[in-house]
Amino acid sequence: MTKHRPRLATVSLAAVVVLLSRPALAVDPFEIQVYDGTANQAGMPGVELHLNTVPSGRRDSNGPELPPNHQSHFTLEPSLGLLPWWEIGGYLQTALRGDGTFEYAGIKFRSKFVTPPWFSDRVRLGANFELSLLPEHYDRNRWGMELRPIAAYEDKHWLFAFNPIVDVALAGPDLHEGPSFQPAAMAVLKVFEFASVGVEYYGNCGPFSGFVSWREQEHYIFEVFNLLAVSHVELNAGIGEGLTAGSNPLTVKLTVGYSWERAESRLPTASFAQRYAAAFRTQ
């Protein structure tokens, strides 16, 4: 039996190396947001500034990516409505590292398709397609793509939304892993049409080819506040707690946005075809 021990030790060591070299999971740290199926009006621009910081985060990472602990992220997101159901946008990302270094952190382009406003008074559906090119410090694969299906329900008191995100590495060491599953969801209660409060959830379960263990996955719950009382202005603030060992223990986020919109009649009694024609006559 003694002569088999070196072989057993070698196999055990190889297994440990494979486990340790498993790619670290990461929920997008630059845009912590659930899409609710809305879009800019046709011809109308908008802009958002995403700010978040990780006061208590993971101190390890798979190089050349940097550990998220004490990182802060600043993302500028301009957008433009092309049609009542089509919006394009982009992200210019920067980061402030824990050592005080401020640097460029990548660029993304997106195209969002949603059901137009007259589709339903309560239900909204859509999909967002995104292409990213990031420095290796923030994504070791550099090139990536995201498909974000969107389903939302809103009435006078509540807003619910679910984004079952599929993230794909287009190059780099994680290419062979295949697409990964990164679900996001929110549920908020409106308070006197002044604000809304509730929770947002973000997760990363790993590649569809084989979800990693619960301990290695990332899962977060954010308690959030949204300002609704100021016309054209969006404000979303939240504090997020990590639920697993693979998550950052604490993340704080703030999104401030402004959209140039015009008042339009919803034409509640018009037919679908009449509303569609009216939307183009007002452009």
CATH at residue 188: 2.40.160.40
Per-residue burial over 20-46, b = 16 or more CB atoms within 10 Å of its CB, e = otherwise: eeebbbbbbbbbbbbbbbbbbbbebeb
Residue 20 has pLDDT above 70, yes or no: no
Give the whole-angstrom CA distance, residue 244 versus residue 249: 8
Residue 74 has pLDDT above 90, yes or no: yes
> Taking the model in full, what pTM does it have?
0.85
Judge whether 3 lies within some domain. Answer: no
Take residue 36 and report the two structure tokens written for it. 């609710």
- Asked if residue 239 lies in contact with residue 220, where contact means CB atoms within 8 angstroms, the answer is no
Residues 194-202 have a mean pLDDT of 97
Judge whether 18 lies within some domain. Answer: no
Residue-number span of the structural domain to which 194 is assigned: 32-281
Residue 100 has pLDDT above 70, yes or no: yes
Judge whether 205 lies within some domain. Answer: yes
Residue that wins the pLDDT comparison between 110 and 265: 110
Residue 2 has pLDDT above 60, yes or no: no
pLDDT of residue 11: 38
